[in-house]
Structure 1
Amino acid sequence: MKLIRVIPSPATEAGRNLTYGYAFLLCLGLLATGCGTAPLRQGPASPTAKIPDPGPTVRDEPLSRYGNPEFYEVFGRRYRPLKNAAGFAERGIASWYGRDFHLRRTSSGETYDMYKMTAAHRVLPLPTYVEVTNLQNGRRAIVRVNDRGPFKDDRVIDLSFAAAVKLGVHGPGTARVELRTIAPGRRPAVRAATPSPLHRSPKRFGYYLQVGAFSDMSNAERLRNHIVALLDNSVEIRPDVIKDKSYYLVHVGPLATTAAASRLAARLTRIGVQHHRLIDN
C-alpha cells in the first residue's frame, strides 16, 4: 500500500490525524484506476433502501477536533481549510465514493457511512452543510461535509453513495454541480434563474488588489475560492456597472500600505494569479 503523506501545520494537533482520513485512503482508488478514469473508488453499489429521506438536519455544530489544521499537503500541493464558510459558493465536477471506504475513518474522525448524506471537500470547515445542485438534471440535496478530498484538479466535491444516488451522479460517476453553504437555522434560498439587479457596494477603507472582473458570477466565485484555499487574505466579490455592463470584481484585502499590497501581489503571482491592480478605497 502506498501512503500519501499529509503534512499538517506544526501549530495544530488536529492536522496530525488527517492521515487516518480521506487522503490516506485515496491511494487505493488511484492505484486501481491510474488516476485517469471516473468514477473513482466506488466498488459495487449496494441497495438504495438504506438511503435516508430527507437529508441531514442543518444545525449549529462546533468545528471538528480533527481535519481542520492550519494547512495540509497532498501530492505536493498545500491546502488551507477555511475558518468560516459563510457565503461560500463553487461550481465544478462532483464524483462519489462508496463501498471501498464504508465504515472507515474520515478526516474529521467520524466513521464514513455510505448511506448517509455526507461529502468530502478540500477546504470547507469540518463539518459544513452544503446544498449541492446537479446542473445537468436540476436535482438538489443537502449534504454534511465531514471529510477531505477529492484531490483531482477538476473535482470540487466527493459525494457519499447516498448523496450520489439522490443527485443522479451515481450512474454516470461524475456531474457538473454547484455548491452553496447553508447557515444553521436557515433554509436554502430559492434562487431566480437570472441574476438580481446589481447594486454598488458601500465605501471601504484601505488598499485592495483587484485580480479579476467577470460578467459571469461563477467565474468570480471560482477565482475567489482558489485564492482563499491557498492564502490567508480576505477576498470579496464586488458587483459593479462599468459602461452600462454588469461586472463582478474580485478584490483581495484590505491592506494597510502599498508595501503590503506589493508583497501580496508577489504571493498571488506564485499561486498563478498573474493580473492584479491596486485599488485605493
Structure 2
Amino acid sequence: MLSPFHPTNWSQACASWIHEIHIAFDPPVPVEPGKGGFLRLMRWSTPRVAGLVILSFTLHCTRPPAYTPATNTSRSGGTSLGAQAYVEEGMASWYGGNDDGFAGRPTASGEIFDPEQYTCAHRTLPLGSFVEVENLDNHRRAVLRVNDRGPFIKGRILDLSKRGAQDLGILGHGTSRVRLRSVDAMGLPTALDPAASQADPFVVQVASLSDPKNIDALTRELENTFGVVSLQSAVARNGQAVKRVRVGSYTTRQDAEQAAEQIAKLLKDRGVEPFITRQH
C-alpha cells in the first residue's frame, strides 16, 4: 500500500478537491419562480434580493449628506458660520470722492488710499482680509480688500472705496444695505485668520474730539474708571483734525462689548455712543 504522503496520493486528493470546488460553485440551473419546491425558489431569489440590497446600500452611501452649518450671531449683527465664513448685513457707505479729502492719505494699514482700488474700511475685520460685498438692492457683487478702519458713523458697517461703490451701484445713492462675507483672494468663502485677529486687539472708541480741553477732560475721566486710554490722530470728513479717544486693549470681543456697555452708562447723558474697533 502506498504511503499517504506518496505523490500519487497527493495528486488524487487534489483532483478530488478541485472536483468538489467545481460542484460547489457550479451555477444553479435556472428555474421559474414558484416551481421546483422551496429550495429551488430560494436559489433563484437569493442572488436577486442580494443585488437589490447592494444597490440600495450603494445609493445611500454615495448620496451627499444634507449640510446646514450652525450659526452664531454676535451682538454687532455679524454671523460666524461655524468654522467657515464671517457674514454680516448692514448699511454701507463710500469714501474717496473729489471733495472729501481722503485720496492720497494713509489708511490704517499704512497704504496710501487710492479711491480707484477695490478696497474698503471695516471696524473689526483683520486688515488685509478679503470680503465679498453684495448690494441687497440690486444684487451686484464685488470682492474688496480691507485696508482701513471705519465707518465711524452709527448704523453703518462698511465704507467702500469709490471704485467698489461704483461697481455695486451705490455712487448715486450714497448708502445701501449690503451683505458681506469673508472670502479668499479668489473670491471663495473662507474663515477669518485667527492669528491675524489675535495680533490686533479690540478697543472701544468713545469719541472723536478736536478741542484739547475736552480731550483732556474726557481722558482723565475714563482713566479713573478704565485705566488705559489712548489717543489716535485722525482727519474728519470735513478735513478737521481730531483725536479719537479710545479705551482698553481687549483680546476678545466679549470683553470689549462689556467695556462699551459700561462706558455708555457712564456717559449716557452726553450723547456718547461708544463702538468697538481695532487697535490698528
Name the TM-score, length of structure 2 as normaliser: 0.38
The higher-RCO structure (CA 8 Å, 6+ apart) is: 1
Higher helix proportion: 2
Name the TM-score, length of structure 1 as normaliser: 0.38
Structure with higher Rg: it is: 2
